[in-house]
Chain A
Amino acid sequence: MADIKSLKARKFINVLSHRQAKFEVAQAKFPTFSDNASVLAKALHPKRQYLKIESILERGEDCKSYTLVPDEEKGTTALAYFGAGKYLTVFETIEGMPVTRAYSISSSPKDSLEGKYVLTIKLVGGGLMSRYIFDTWEIGSKVEVSAPAGNFEYQPLRDAKKVICLAGGSGITPFVSMANAIADGDEDFEMTLLYGSRNSDCILFKDELAELEKKCDKIKVIHVLSEEKGRAKKGTEKGFITAELIKKYAPENEVYSVFICGPQQMYDFVDKELEKLNLEKKYIRHEMFGEFHNPATQADYPSEVPETVKITVTIQDNTYTVEGKTSDSVMQTLEKNGIAVPARCRSGECGFCHSHLLSGKIYVPKHLEYRRLADYKFGCIHPCCSFPLTDLELSVPTAK
């Protein structure tokens, strides 16, 4: 029988000198080789994108579309390509307060290759950022945004070929991008869009949607008007997006996905309606909820919570102690005190603000719980949806 002893042990000594010799004969020159994986990583996920406003389109009294192009002076020469449905986080400083907001991109992925993103922003009552944008963003203004982010996208291996899209108000923006991507051949699914507006005067992207519907037979648009007077016109429905209405437009004897984007009240209403349809969970996809306010309205919010608390936060080698309201998220309190913290989605989902809670108690609304299991074990939190119940001590990564 063969034996290990047939192999020479001395060979090892040769291996050692061979290794040194291999290095010795090599050129002392930094290696260059094709590495498109790293090129793509940087192109698709830049740390920041520096943009400027090229044009502004007013859409009624309280909505504007801003066309953003690269600000080459600040080093952005091309825009990151994206999958339709993604958002950009906008970074602003308002009266010394670092503030961020996530807005879905309403333009098509194809437009980004030509150096254009469109953000369509609706003025929100009491909305700090939207008010600021309306008041200060002009042609030529410089705007700093994140790379495209988010998971509200069509995925052909997961989603049905037919998708019923439910939009409410400015929640139409990701769907406009998706419809354009379908028309451009960048996405391949059949979209039936049920778009809820108050009345026909409030419909955003009315003409663009009509145009897309005409241009591409995979797109069908139905306006659902809750406060429209008179009889429903062709291609419109009166009332709200109910289970019955979805059923009317959904394919029969065939699976379909439902994508939803709109304000919180719409999610509350539509989710109940969807329960009646008994769809598999995989076929229902929500865009993020957006920033949450007034935790005390939640049924599981504890009683006897003080009105204000102290928050001590360490960022790198700086420590700050600030006072905040228990009705504000930890992130809001820090920002209100001029402390920049990492922020992207502000809805609990993306985990970008992941931080260590060193002492104290917080409340997190159940529907915003996207923490990892080990985060609970080791006391890690997402400040964007964590509301203080006691004084807190935190360690937070630097804003980036």
Chain B
Amino acid sequence: MKTYDVIVIGAGNGGLAAAATCAKEGLSTLLLERHNIPGGSASSFVRGRFEFEPSLHELCGVGAPDKSGQVEGMFDRLGGDVDWYTHESTFRLVVPAKEGDDGAFVNEDGVLVTVDARMPVGFESFAQKLDELVPGSYESCMAAFDLSTRLFKALNSLENPSQLPGSLKDIPDIMRMVSHTMSEALDALGMPKKAQDIFNTYWCYLGSPASKLDFLYYMAMLHSYVEYGTGVPRYRSHEMSLALDKVIRRHGGDIWYNSEVTKIIMKDGKPAGVVINGEKEVYGKYIISNAYPYAVFKDLIDEKDTPKKQLKMLKSRKTACTLTTVYLGMNKTKEELGIKDYSIFIAPDSDSDKQYDVAQNYKSGYCIINCLNEIIPDCTPEGTSQLFLTTMTFGDVMKDIRPQDYKKFKTEIARDMIETCEKALNISIMPYIEEIEIALPPTFARYLNTPLGTPYGYMLEKWDSMLPRTVQYLSDQPFDNFFFCGATQERGDGYGCAYYTGEKAGNLVVNAIKKEGK
């Protein structure tokens, strides 16, 4: 029986990046995926004459034509062929007015709102726009971007140690960013509360509100969006996943689909291989798992072989948010529908912590609406468009729903989300739906096999945020030949983050094997 250098469990974004990295460096690599196609969340599906993007909102790591961002950089390094489309926009935040709201006004759509912020690309333009909306916020906004600019410089110089001494003086400020939340840091910078709310709109991409989210992490993300704008692949995220599939094959790696790991084989207290679909055994020197620690220690490794620390970690962490998405193939163009933006965040309240509170349950009035035709005009046939509605929830929102209630429940949730968008934007969606598909947490649980169906890993909390996770990554791993990657690791959820952790885990194995060879 062949022993692979590395077996990768799960072909989600992290697993694909890990396997591609290993295969490219010449390791004998086997990538195992329980589903019949790669990508996990990064995929696509066809209904009628529409092909839908299941999960990708926007990549902040594509960059501009003359300057590639982190994600594009990885695809370039690995040789993954993706046609990128970019768009010079960040987000629009619309908060419909509630009764008795001070300062409510009628916006361009004829809707009474308390906030309508369409934020541009470019630090200077972004800060100016914020100042226009909330006078007195320019300086604090620029100060925040100055910090994130210094952060990126410092991070780059870590990769180029020769530049290190020059940026060392930035380190104290970066340490300040790491150990404080968005609210603490923006308060310290003197940003007016109303401006903070707009500034924090992307919190949901990380799943934790401003009072919990660490400043450095959010700034790293916002910085990339504001610097570069939005990027997406031409052919939905299925294109990115197949591009990595091809990299792996081209370098002699094996990918087996419909091949679920049902057991991890232990030898001398360490993983030595896996059982596939309950019958076939394959051995590997190293294992990288894109599958969640929860799934690994629940189903794949016996409790007697599980390090105590792993159980303690599982016990002390909270599962991150879950998503509900409605995919709509429309028989009208976006112009006919009256949609003018790629990404609109509709919130019942401008404060991210209040948004987080209401999002504990369904029907919160919180909904993000994306129209892919804004970036890729011909992503649907002539005269049509596609919309993508997303809301988030926390905990087991499916509690008490029986299988026979599920279809009606789904429809009811989708109806509420569509109506939220119709009201907030003063547009009509319902009569023009040609195709509809609705994904609730059970849909994600089915395809991702994650607890509660979360695609986001563990909640990023003050004590468990990006930097401490990064610093303690190696000591968090259960065995010295076993590495986790994906949304449960250092950077939490997001395509760029998962790719990053996958590439990093891949490089750890590559280096370890090179060392052994010497």
Contacts and interface: CB of A to CB of B under 8 A. Distances in A.
Max count, chain B CB within 10 A of own CB: residue among A5, A156, A352: A156
B44 interface: yes
Contact of B315 (A27, A316, A354, A370): A27
Given A4-B189, A316-B259, A373-B235, A378 B243 contact: yes
A381 interface: no
A372 B236 contact: yes
Nearest to B242: A378
A3 B188 contact: yes
Nearest to A110: B404
Interface in A1-33: 1-12, 14-16, 18-20, 22-31, 33
A298 interface: no
Contacts of B311: 27-30
A342 B178 contact: no
B508 interface: no
Nearest to A316: B256
Contacts of B404: 81, 109-110, 113, 186
Contacts of B49: 281
B418 A378 contact: no
A37 B322 contact: yes
A316 B280 contact: yes
Given A29-B315, A378-B245, A397 B179 contact: no
Contacts of B313: 23, 26
Contacts of A317: 2, 254
B434 A282 contact: yes
Nearest to A155: B436
A37 B188 contact: no
A398 interface: yes
B433 A378 contact: no
Nearest to A370: B46
Interface stretch (A41-49, A99-107, A166-174, A195-203): A41-49
Contacts of B188: 2-4, 6-7
B434 A351 contact: no
Interface in B236-279: 236, 238-239, 242-243, 245-246, 249, 254, 256-259, 276-277
B77 interface: no
Contact of B452 (A20, A25, A38, A151): A38
Given A41-B445, A157-B411, A317-B254, A374 B259 contact: no
B298 interface: yes
A83 B404 CA distance: 9
Contacts of A14: 179
A26 B451 contact: no
Interface string A36-71: 111011011100000000000000000000000000
B301 to A, nearest CB: 11
Given A41-B442, A397-B256, A83 B407 contact: yes
B190 interface: yes
Interface in A233-288: 280-282
Contacts of A399: 258
Interface of A is mostly: loop
Interface stretch (B203-211, B359-367, B393-401): B393-401
A16 B468 contact: yes
Contacts of A33: 319, 396, 451
Contact of A31 (B309, B315, B397, B467): B315
B190 A2 contact: yes
Contacts of A395: 249
A377 B179 contact: no
Contacts of A72: none
Interface residues of A, number: 77
Interface string B48-85: 11010000000000000000000000000000010000
Given A155-B436, A354-B36, A380-B242, A12 B467 contact: yes
A24 B312 CA distance: 7
B193 interface: no
Contacts of A25: 316
A1 B411 CA distance: 51
B173 A40 contact: no
Contacts of B479: none
Contact of B314 (A10, A30, A43, A109): A30
Contacts of B452: 35, 37-38
Contacts of A41: 442-443, 445-446, 453
Contact of A377 (B242, B254, B411): B242
Given A19-B463, A41-B453, A158 B314 contact: no
Contacts of A8: 176, 179
Contacts of A282: 331, 432-435
Contact of A18 (B400, B401, B463): B463
A307 interface: no
A316 B433 CA distance: 41
A109 B472 CA distance: 51
B133 to A, nearest CB: 20
B37 A23 contact: no
B309 A45 contact: no
B185 interface: yes
Contact of B403 (A44, A374, A375, A398): A44
Interface in B109-144: 139-140, 143
Nearest to A358: B249
B53 to A, nearest CB: 11
Interface in A336-350: 342, 349
B236 A374 contact: yes
B147 interface: yes
A231 interface: no
Contacts of A281: 48-49, 331, 434
A366 interface: no
A271 B140 CA distance: 63
A107 B440 CA distance: 26
B44 A19 contact: no
Contacts of B258: 342, 397-400
A208 to B, nearest CB: 22
Interface string B377-402: 00000000000000000001111110
Scoring A1, A24, A30, A34 by chain B CB atoms within 10 A of each residue's CB, the highest score goes to A30
Contact of A28 (B180, B312, B464): B312
Nearest to A285: B48
B175 interface: yes
A80 interface: yes
A374 B467 contact: no
Contacts of B172: 9
A232 to B, nearest CB: 36
Contacts of B415: 157
Given A27-B312, A30-B303, A15 B256 contact: no
B518 interface: no
21 contacts: A2-B190, A7-B180, A9-B179, A33-B396, A35-B452, A37-B397, A41-B442, A158-B436, A282-B434, A316-B276, A351-B45, A352-B36, A354-B36, A372-B44, A373-B44, A373-B236, A374-B238, A377-B81, A378-B239, A398-B258, A400-B277
Interface of B: 2, 36-37, 44-49, 51, 81, 139-140, 143, 147, 172-173, 175-180, 184-185, 187-190, 234-236, 238-239, 242-243, 245-246, 249, 254, 256-259, 276-277, 280, 294, 297-298, 303, 308-309, 311-316, 319, 322, 331, 396-401, 403-404, 406-407, 411, 414-415, 418, 430, 432-436, 440-446, 451-453, 462-465, 467-468, 471-472
Given A2-B190, A11-B175, 13 more contacts: A4-B143, A9-B175, A16-B471, A36-B400, A37-B442, A38-B452, A41-B442, A109-B404, A282-B433, A372-B51, A373-B235, A374-B236, A397-B256
6 closest A-B pairs by CB: A397-B257, A2-B190, A282-B434, A37-B441, A11-B179, A9-B175
